[in-house]
Chains A and B, each alone.
Chain A
Amino acid sequence: MLASRTAGERRLIFMFIWVLVGVLYFHVRITGGLVPDLVNRIAYPDATSETRKVDHVVMPYQEARLALDQELEQLQNEITSDQGIVTEMAATGNDGQRLAVRETENKELEQRLTVATDSQQRLGARLVRKSGAGAQVAQLQSQIAQLAAKTGLTITGTQPVVTPEALGVQEVSASGKVADDVTRAVDDSPVVTPGQVATLLNAKTLVCQKYSLEGNSVMLFVFLQQLKKLPWDVYVLNLDVIKEAGTDAKQAGSPRMEMVLVY
């Protein structure tokens, strides 16, 4: 074709081809449009409009820049959102140090549970059995009655204690006022708090029984000493000794006693 052309014509054709190549390159790589779209459609005929942006064959500059800008904006939004989440989570104080504290607490609690369970078994070993085939409560009560009779005391009545009011226990201070929150009795003091009373009354393994007695108050001391010799543990929760007024010494010397036993 070029053989029959003059030198000027060849030069023009050459320049035209170069201009065409330049325009095509600019179109394909800079602006995009028909040709890249055609290449995309041929190379990925099944691609959707969304995936075509990603799985491109020829990504023109402007489309690439637009895609990068969008990606950056989306990423920035996600970063902002994540920073908010991190701030919120950090504000809760839940971190590795707190976790370590919790785990240490749990280990201590497990140790406490082990110790408490052992103590429970030890303390409960001499408690009278309350229910089941080997119930021993009646046997213990019988032995208490026999012991009272032996010590010259007369049991005038028994009554199970099921409410705190029956015990009349309330915290009072030394001045007679209800105890405040800033002081407490020293350790190993013979005190019982309303909370402990509640625990006692709710404990199924303990029975709280109120005994009304009559007799010599000195023998009451003997009676209490003899209780320790029973095969089961019997505890004295409360004791009231009231000497009634009388016209003579004999009448006045016979006190009325009320005793709350726990076993």
Chain B
Amino acid sequence: MAVARAVIIDDGFELHGCLLNAAGQVVASASASDASDLDEALSQLRKPLAVAREVIVVSAAVKAGSVALPPGVVGNLGFVELNQMVQFEMSAQLGRDNVMLGEIFLHRGYLDSQQLGTLLEQQRASRRDPSQGGFKPLGALAQEAGYLDASQLEACLQQQVRMNQGDAAVIPVAGIGQAASATSYGNQHATTVSLADQQVRDQWIKALKKNGFRCVALVPLVGSCAGVLAEQFQETTGAVIQLHATFAGVVQVNDGNPTSIETISFGGKPLDSERLGNLLQRINSPLKVVLPASESLGELVRATGEHTTPQLHVLEDEGGIWNRITQASSRAILQASRLATPSVPLKNPRRPITQGPLVPWAIAIMLLGVLLVAGEWLIEQRLAPLRVKLERQGQEHVALDERIEEYSEWDFAIEQAEARRDELQSQVLPIESRNDLIENVLVTRTTFYSRFLKLLMETVGEGVIIDGLSSQGGEAFTVDVWSIDPAQGGLFVEEITRRLAAEKITVEVLSTRKGKGKLGIEGTELKMSVAPEREQLETSDQEDNDAGK
């Protein structure tokens, strides 16, 4: 299903909307009288053009031109630089005059050029002759003449104010047409370009979107009908003249290539047949096709008499030029003809980062980096003492753990050693005790008894009898001796004492008693104690005894 398309033409003063069917035929049209208030004007066109979604905008605000761009600049220059170059090349055509109130009257159809001329003459006369009431503005004169009422005059004045409020510092956006091949003698053919202010473009796109339309192209009004030369006259060389109330657009075509696109402003002065005739004569071309925007302009052309020459043709359409521009623009957009003026880009390409404002971003990134580094440094400075303390305490803790482990190992090893010592002692002590018993007690005691008996028998003399021998405890021995004569007993004691002293055994006479012995004879009884010598215990011996306990 083909989508219906609409073309909205902005001649600088009014909006003309035409609805095209799928075959490219105009099926409906409407107009808004004040193009200066774009939202309001489009809202007036929204209902008649509601079927359409896509809109081609043909605007006088978009300038057309034919410039000879240096080879290769289109592919190599950046978007902004190319726009600026096109703007520079077209600077001669971009001079803008303030919109005159009479031009608005003409565009709104309140009066024609002749009537405007009369009013301007009256205004000049009023300036020269103060007796007639003094200088009168053009609006007042037109209202007095009955061409319009007060409200219409107010609307025209407001439109003039809005139209003359243009921003001098425009940001250009240029559409580049197809470049023709170089001529046979090496010169570069001109390229058709269009140029608009980005703000104007954005206003159009925004206003269309607001009213439910989508802008598909924004093309200049001048040059929009250049294709008529080939389509209707099958010619490749000639001039197409779009004649509007306040300006004329002239497209010169040579060998099928547009060599010049020129917008000729009438400067706010009313166009008469003489001025128009001079204009038409000045255009040097073997074929001149004039497209008048209105019937009055067509009559003005005929009044010049130029239409009688075979070189000039006047193409008049019913209802003005708008249907022709609509169809021509639509075809041009679809076919992308070389003769068609290109649309300005509807969207700026993304600016390469290398062409972007690098310094602010670099500064921003540097500041961000400084912020992060400073913040992290500050955090680290605050945490560093704690980390150092933690590490130091960790080392101290590890050292303590190692000491505890070392002590534990010593404890365990000492415990094992002491257990082993106890085990060995439990084995050694009984054996040593038994060995000591045999070696130092039994052997010694047995030997002592034999030796002691022998000693007693050798020592006992005449008159001395051994009455008894007994062990007193484990250490001492008791010897009972009887002698007839005490002197004999004393000699015995001396002798036995002397002999036992050599063996570190002492003899002590415990008692002496006179009486009858066991034989019943009077004599002296001696009780002797025989015991080994004693010595003081040494301190180490005492400690050994304690340890043994």
Contacts and interface: CB of A to CB of B under 8 A. Distances in A.
B453 A103 contact: no
A116 interface: yes
Nearest to A241: B469
Chain A residues touching B, range: 35 or more
Contacts of A245: 518
Nearest to A242: B468
Contacts of B390: 68, 71-72, 75
Interface string B370-406: 0110011001001100110110011011001101100
B444 interface: yes
Given A221-B454, A237-B445, A90 B421 contact: no
Contacts of A172: 472-473, 475-476
A44 to B, nearest CB: 22
Contacts of B433: 196, 199
Given A79-B400, A199-B433, A237-B445, A72 B531 contact: no
Interface stretch (A132-140, A149-157, A179-187): A179-187
A55 interface: no
B499 interface: no
A1 interface: no
B534 interface: yes
B366 interface: no
Given A76-B393, A89-B411, A205-B434, A65 B418 contact: no
Interface string B471-513: 1111110000000000000000000000000001110101000
A65 B439 CA distance: 80
B540 interface: no
Contacts of B534: 173-174, 183-186
Contacts of A86: 400, 403-404, 407
A78 interface: yes
A123 B439 contact: yes
Interface in B288-312: none
A167 to B, nearest CB: 8
B396 A79 contact: yes
A109 B532 contact: no
A9 interface: no
Interface in B141-166: none
B400 A94 contact: no
A106 B417 contact: yes
Interface in B458-472: 466-472
A224 B453 contact: yes
Contacts of B371: 21-22, 25
A145 interface: no
Contacts of B437: 196, 199-200, 203, 206
A65 B424 contact: no
A174 B476 contact: yes
Is chain B's binding surface mostly helix, strand, loop or mixed? helix
Given A21-B371, A102-B421, A109-B421, A90 B397 contact: no
Given A94-B410, A182-B536, A21 B368 contact: yes
Is chain A's binding surface mostly helix, strand, loop or mixed? helix
A169 B473 contact: yes
A78 B393 CA distance: 10
A5 interface: no
Interface string B210-236: 000000000000000000000000000
B480 to A, nearest CB: 8
Interface in A66-114: 68-69, 71-72, 75-76, 78-79, 82-83, 85-86, 89-90, 92, 94-96, 98-99, 102-103, 105-106, 109-110, 112-113
B420 interface: yes
Interface in A211-256: 217-218, 220-221, 224-225, 235-249, 252, 255
A103 B419 CA distance: 11
Contacts of B431: 113, 116-117, 119-120
Given A90-B407, A109-B421, A192-B445, 4 more contacts: A82-B401, A99-B413, A112-B428, A205-B434
Query: What are the 6 tightest A-B residue pairs by CB atom distance, in nearest-first order?
Result: A189-B532, A235-B442, A190-B448, A102-B417, A109-B424, A82-B400
14 contacts: A21-B371, A29-B375, A30-B375, A82-B400, A86-B400, A94-B414, A106-B421, A171-B475, A182-B536, A190-B447, A192-B474, A221-B457, A239-B469, A252-B519
Interface of A: 3-4, 14, 18, 21-22, 25, 29-30, 61, 64-65, 68-69, 71-72, 75-76, 78-79, 82-83, 85-86, 89-90, 92, 94-96, 98-99, 102-103, 105-106, 109-110, 112-113, 116-117, 119-120, 123, 168-174, 176, 179, 181-186, 188-194, 196-197, 199-200, 203, 205-206, 217-218, 220-221, 224-225, 235-249, 252, 255, 262
